[in-house]
Structures are given as structure tokens and as C-alpha cells.
Structure 1
């Protein structure tokens, strides 16, 4: 896992764009009235990420609240992507102020995305160690408290004129404003180890919700993209601990916003999102599960070498992957 924290490879989830150009012609750019795509370009990116997974527990009777806040680590890194393969490297350097006193805390985060026609699949993974426990005016630190979360969403993009790739991976560019209704299913599994003083308890949380969403890409100028989206879902949570198993109503809210400036093949921008999952863990305790995510990036798209393109086409032929 430590190695994955440094080098994450995306083989299944990535940016699938398949082509079968002839030897006489390599297509680097395709466009229609609304979307421009870059099927044979290598996409590179430098990025800064701030994200974490925190938990708010509230007693339904007394209204007392306890917040479990991970000792955050900001990361910087680089990524290279071509077709359906991407490789990234990220570190948590000490020169970033938030990392100077991390008290042996650990954070591993992986966010993957794939497209299959109109279908979009995401996968999120968070592994954290070291939490502050905020209660009233005190916030002691517990280095052995841990959490693990894995899950994601399966979504369907209804509007062909709307490009989610223009927001997420920049292997497409939105040329005219467009929006889309995107129904989906959201699901997560969370393991929370509360290890503090005399309390040592483990929770297992299972979430699933139907989550309709709407996203809009606004193109106010030729190379500028402003995007906003919201999803609001409802479903079920099943929580288990040593003392009790409990099933309750789950609500999901996810707010997203992006700013991207894309000049020729040079692009820069930022993403922000905030996911909130609300449910009970037992008959008397209410939990708010929060995942904020912030990223700043700058990148460039290079023409892939002909040998790389031919090699990729041969692999597609062997795997019987058809052109899109």
C-alpha cells in the first residue's frame, strides 16, 4: 500500500479512447459542434490535492456531537495518460505547512474513472491513520485510530453533447455549453476503528443509494469552461459493530464545481467537490460522513509517437477492442 501511495496505476479505470487508424493517417483531433476529442495524444499533468474523510457523530437524545477529523496530508504529484492507461506519482512533502507536523499520520487516496459508451464508472479509496477527536473545547489526537473506505458510482450520461471527460481528464474539450441529467447508483463500504483511551470499537458501514445528478458545462469564452453539478440521493445504510447491527435511511448529497482554461493543448484548472452521506449507526447515534476534495492542476497534451500508437492498436486487435 505504501508503494501504491507513491505510484498508482490505472489499467482498468482510465481514459478509454480506442482507434484503428490506417498506416497512412493518424488522427490526433476529432471534433463536432459541441465536443473536441484527442484520441492519439498523451495527456500529462502536474497537480496538488487536498482531501480527507471525516466523521461527525451526534447523539439523537442529548445532541452532543463528536467530530473525528483525520490528520490531513496535502500531496503534489504528476500523471501521464494515454488511451486507457495512466500512471501517477504523488508525495506529501514537508515544505507544505500542513505536512510539517503530521505526527506519523497516514493518508492514501485513489480516485479512478472509466467510460464505456454513455456509462461512467468511478472508484474511490481512502485509507487513513491518525485522528483528532473534537468534543466541545478539546481535540486530543489518537495516532492509532484508523478508517478505510472503498466505493464509487455507476452513472449514465444521457446527453451526447455534454462531455464529462472535459471536466475530469481533459482528453476532450467542451466547445459549446451543454448539460446532462446523469442518473446513477452510489455505493461505499467503510471500516472505522475507534481506538481511544479505554474505548476500542470497530464499525462496518455499508451504503447504497440511487443518486440522480445534473451537470452543466458552461463555455463563456472559446477556451474557458465553468462546470457545476449536484447529486441528491436516497437509499439504505447497514451498520454493524460488536454490540449491534442496524439498518437506516441514507441520504447522499454531492456538490461539484470546476474551472478549466484550455488553450490549444495546454490546460490548467481546479476541481472542488463535497460528498456528504447521512445515516444512523444505531438507534441513538446519527453520523455525517464527509469527503471534501480539492485539486489544482496544469497539464499538456502531446502527440503520441507513431510506434506507441501502432503498438496500442495491435494490443486492441489482440483484445478485440473495437474503435469508438
Structure 2
């Protein structure tokens, strides 16, 4: 597979706020495992798509990102995942080659939800066109480049009873249903460009669009709830929306451009479901973030970033030798807390 890429995901997060309050949660709602390792086998795919709408057309561009198979481990607030897009799970479908660096951090300290994005994609194909035109169904745009950098930080009001880490990282176990209000801020910026034209040939006759730049920021609010059935089966859903003030500028082939300021809604959706217990967890997770840009000259543009994953998880206690090697984490924790 020419488009199969090595995927390396390393997430290291130390939150002194989370560590200091770790023992203060309500253990009748969820359990923590500070001395255990959480190992996982998983399948995952990340992507960032581009939606572009005019008065008569709706286009959806997608990268040919790979389905990755990997393993990972979590110990306290440290997570390491390694994955690879093997050819036998990524058959050729005529979608071209995509080169990308997809950096997504979804961190869940006890009372915070932190999401950081660094999306650097080269190479797209036209997945959907409306009205449907057969000759556009497999159009490739190997020179299209998309960049998105941003972050969302939210405060989780009910971290004593509700655990995001139980659903996403599986290093905790939510045993009773609970929910929480979320309030925070977000900021995003980036660009889409293709010096050969962003639009299909049949549409570029009216506007030879070459580049889109954007920047926006604003507050957001949401709610998360975990429904737990018979202590082990869970469905966790979270939705947040924000009103962002943003500026978008469009540039065509001759260098001319137009820009516009607007207030636009963004949204952030998360879904987790599966089985959890003291040792084992089997679950499916999905995280999706959509940034809607300020419309310019009749163009409505959105950028959707997704991450879905299947996890098979096993928690275990490290042996004596490994425990000694992990002692540096506890020493670092005590230093951060001044103990």
C-alpha cells in the first residue's frame, strides 16, 4: 500500500491539579487504578475533512487516511500509543495518496477537558458532490493542502462523580450513572490551498478558488452524561457548542481576495460505549470536532476532524522490576505537589 503510513501517537500529560485532587473523587461513582497499568490493543482512524457549500453545490473532500492497528499503555497520567496502517486492512479504493501528520490530544484531568489539534494534510479526494455528477465521484486533488491548529479547554463541574477517563482512556471504571456541565473557550486557525484549484474543473469556471485562510475564537458550553447499566455496561455521550468570532479570507488565481467577519457556531461531539470491569474493558469511542468558517462570497466552509477507535483493554499490576522503573513517576508527582 503506497498510502499506508506509519502512525505514531505519543501523549504525555502531567496535570498537577488533577494529581492533587485524584483522591478526592466519590469512589461510589467511579474507581481509579493509580498503581496499575492499563494496556490496550486498538484499531483507530483519524481524519480531517473539508466541506464546501455554494448556492447550488455541496462538496465534501476527504483524505485517504489509514486504518491503524496498534498497542498502548496508560500509567496514571502518562499514555503511550503506537500504531501502524497495515496494508491488509487498507485495500486500494482509488482514493489517491494522502500524506499527513495528525496530532490530536484529548486529555481529561479530573476537572478539565483539554483538546489540542495540529492537522497537516496533503492530498484529498472528492467523496461527495451534490447534485450528484458521476464524473466527480472519483476526482482526486493530490495538491490540496489543509492546515488546522487549535485548542479547546473546558471546565468539568462534576469531576467528583463523572469520569471522562473511564470512557476514553479506560484507566478508571465508572460504576454509577453521572453527568456534568462543561464550560470553556476555543480557538482555531489555519488554511486550505491548492495552486491548481480547490474546486472541480466544472465549477472552477465561475471561481478559480486557490486559497482559504481562517481564524476564530470564542466561548463554548456543553454537557456530558454516562449511563451505566448493571455496573459494567456504559454509554457516554457529550455535546458542546460554541459561538466563535472569526475571519475568513478567500483568494483566487489572479491574487485577488475577499474576506468577511462573522459569528458562527462550532460543535464538539463525543460518544463512548462498551463494557468495563475491574480488569477488562471492550469499547468503541468516537470524537468529532467541526469548525464552521465565516461565509465569504456565497461560500460556506467547514472543517471536520474525527477520531474513532475500537479498544480491547486489560488492567494489570506491574511486577517488582517494572514497579521500580515506574517509581520516577511517583517521585515526579511528589515534587510537582511540593511533598
Counterpart of 1:24? Answer: none
CA shift in 2, pair 1:12/1:36, >3 Å: closer
Counterpart of 1:148? Answer: 147
After TM superposition, give the deviation of residue 306 of structure 1 in Å.
2.8
Alpha-carbon separation, structure 1, partners of 2:18 and 2:280: 20
- State whether residues 111 and 156 of structure 2, in contact with CA within 8 Å, keep that contact through their aligned partners in structure 1: yes
- State whether residues 74 and 99 of structure 1, in contact with CA within 8 Å, keep that contact through their aligned partners in structure 2: no
Name whichever of 40-49 and 199-208 sits farther off: 199-208
Kindly indicate which of the two structures has a greater share of residues assigned to helix: 2
Equivalent residues in 2 for 1:182-197 (5 A)? Answer: 182-196=182-196
| 2:248 aligned with 1:247 | no
Alpha-carbon separation, structure 2, partners of 1:264 and 1:9: 26
Equivalent residues in 2 for 1:86-165 (5 A)? Answer: 86-98=79-91, 101=94, 103-133=96-126, 134-135=128-129, 136-137=132-133, 138-139=136-137, 140-159=139-158, 160-165=160-165
TM-score (norm 1): 0.84
Counterpart of 1:206? Answer: 215
CA shift in 2, pair 1:117/1:86, >3 Å: closer
Q: 1:75 aligns with which of 44, 47, 68?
A: 68
Deviations 1:12-67 (A, max 9, x none): 46899758xxxxxxx9xx972111001121221111113322222222xx433333
Counterpart of 1:296? Answer: 310
Alpha-carbon separation, structure 1, partners of 2:301 and 2:38: 40
Equivalent residues in 2 for 1:162-241 (5 A)? Answer: 162-196=162-196, 199=208, 201-241=210-250
| 2:36 aligned with 1:41 | yes
Alpha-carbon separation, structure 2, partners of 1:99 and 1:258: 30
Aligned length: 308
After TM superposition, give the deviation of residue 94 of structure 1 in Å.
1.1
SS at match of 2:88: coil
CA shift in 2, pair 1:6/1:278, >3 Å: closer
- State whether residues 73 and 102 of structure 1, in contact with CA within 8 Å, keep that contact through their aligned partners in structure 2: no
Alpha-carbon separation, structure 1, partners of 2:79 and 2:192: 30
TM-score (norm 2): 0.80
Counterpart of 1:312? Answer: 329
Let me know the Cα RMSD of the aligned residues.
2.8
After TM superposition, give the deviation of residue 270 of structure 1 in Å.
0.3
Name whichever of 149-158 and 244-253 sits farther off: 244-253
Alpha-carbon separation, structure 2, partners of 1:14 and 1:194: 40
After TM superposition, give the deviation of residue 178 of structure 1 in Å.
0.5
After TM superposition, give the deviation of residue 183 of structure 1 in Å.
1.1
Counterpart of 2:47? Answer: 52
CA shift in 2, pair 1:314/1:290, >3 Å: closer
Deviations 1:241-260 (A, max 9, x none): 44133211211123322112
CA shift in 2, pair 1:231/1:90, >3 Å: same
After TM superposition, give the deviation of residue 8 of structure 1 in Å.
2.8
Q: 2:273 aligns with which of 259, 271, 279?
A: 259
SS at match of 1:52: strand
SS at match of 1:183: strand
Deviations 1:70-108 (A, max 9, x none): 223222212122223222211111112455655332233
Counterpart of 2:254? Answer: none
Deviations 1:92-150 (A, max 9, x none): 11112455655332233232133455223221232222112354411310212111222
Counterpart of 1:321? Answer: 337
SS at match of 1:282: coil
Q: Identify unmatched segments of 5+ residues in structure 1.
A: 20-26
SS at match of 1:39: coil
- State whether residues 15 and 83 of structure 1, in contact with CA within 8 Å, keep that contact through their aligned partners in structure 2: no
SS at match of 1:67: strand
